[in-house]
Amino acid sequence: MKTTISTKQIIESPESSIIEVEQPLTHEAKSKAMKDAWQEVAEEMKSNRVFAAIQRGELGVHEYKAILREIFHHARENPQIQALATSFFRGSEREFVKMFLKHATSEVGHDQLALNDLAALGEDVSGIPTERPLPATTALISYAFYQIQFRNPLGYIGYLFFLEYTPVQNGPTYLKRLREKGVPDSALSFIQEHATVDISHCRLIEKYVDQLIRTQDDLDEVCYAIRTTGQLYQRMLESAVKEIGTRKQWGQSPTETKKAKI
């Protein structure tokens, strides 16, 4: 694992006592640290059983369907997770509340894309919204909540970066390989949407990073979140494929059968 460059500089004060001064983080330094962390995960993904199968065009429709199911459960939580992050903004960070909430709103309904893709592949999706996610999916969702509430809320930017930057980098290859496997475009809307729309979301992240990440500690936490999200995302996909045929054992979730009066 790479360590980030310290921006602390030791200087001598006029009274000859040594003081530590935190140097401002440049845009380039922040961007490089985050992309290096992502690249580390991308290297791991190359040898990951599931991601390597997608890259080689060996992932079957059966496996793709199992993955879409967990993507549905995960994507459903993301707008609410991003909204939660804003509750921790203080001082000038509050200027980002509107931008964060707009970004979060634009992610609403992406879970439905995954369901539509499953339906286009002939799956009965009626029971999916009320089933429990696989534990590996719950771990990924839980990490985002934990990062925001109990570690450093700005680390959330690393979680978001992994989710937005990965489809921009790898989405076109995944689409090509799945099409070669016979998956029709009507069942590729989730990846299609993220390979295109997330380009503008990555620009938003650059603004968040520029203005919100001010210390080396914050940047280290963002890089930790990129690596952690990348690891947990891989576990979710591995688990989706592994649990094909035994998925029902996790049962239905009573909290998801709630009916809101609209």
**Residue 170 burial (C-beta neighbours within 10 Å; 0-12, 13-18, 19+):** middle
**Residue 199 burial (C-beta neighbours within 10 Å; 0-12, 13-18, 19+):** middle
- Minimum gap (Å) between residue 64 Cβ and Fe ion: 21
Query: Which residues, 34 to 53, sit near Fe ion by CB under 5 A?
Result: none
Nearest residue (CB) to Fe ion, 165 versus 241: 165
Under 8 Å between Cβ of 74 and 133:
yes
> At 9, which helix (H) or strand (E)?
strand 8-12
- Minimum gap (Å) between residue 102 Cβ and Fe ion: 12
Stretch that binds Fe ion, among 24-32, 160-168, 227-235, 248-256 (CB under 5 A): 160-168
Stretch that binds Fe ion, among 14-22, 145-153, 185-193, 200-208 (CB under 5 A): 200-208
Print the binding letters for residues 62-101 with Fe ion: x by CB under 5 A, - otherwise.
----------------------------------------
Pairing verdict, β 8-12 and 18-22: antiparallel
Burial pattern 211-247, b for ≥16 Cβ within 10 A else e, equals: ebbeebebbbbbbbbbbbbbbbbbbbbbbbbebeeeb
Nearest residue (CB) to Fe ion, 70 versus 198: 198
What is the C-alpha separation between 177 and 173, in angstroms, rounded? 6
SS3 56: helix
Q: Is residue 198 part of the contact set for Fe ion (CB under 5 A)?
A: yes
Nearest residue (CB) to Fe ion, 108 versus 244: 108
Q: Is residue 201 part of the contact set for Fe ion (CB under 5 A)?
A: yes
Stretch that binds Fe ion, among 49-57, 126-134, 150-158, 201-209 (CB under 5 A): 201-209
Contacts with Fe ion, residue ranges (CB under 5 A): 164, 198, 201
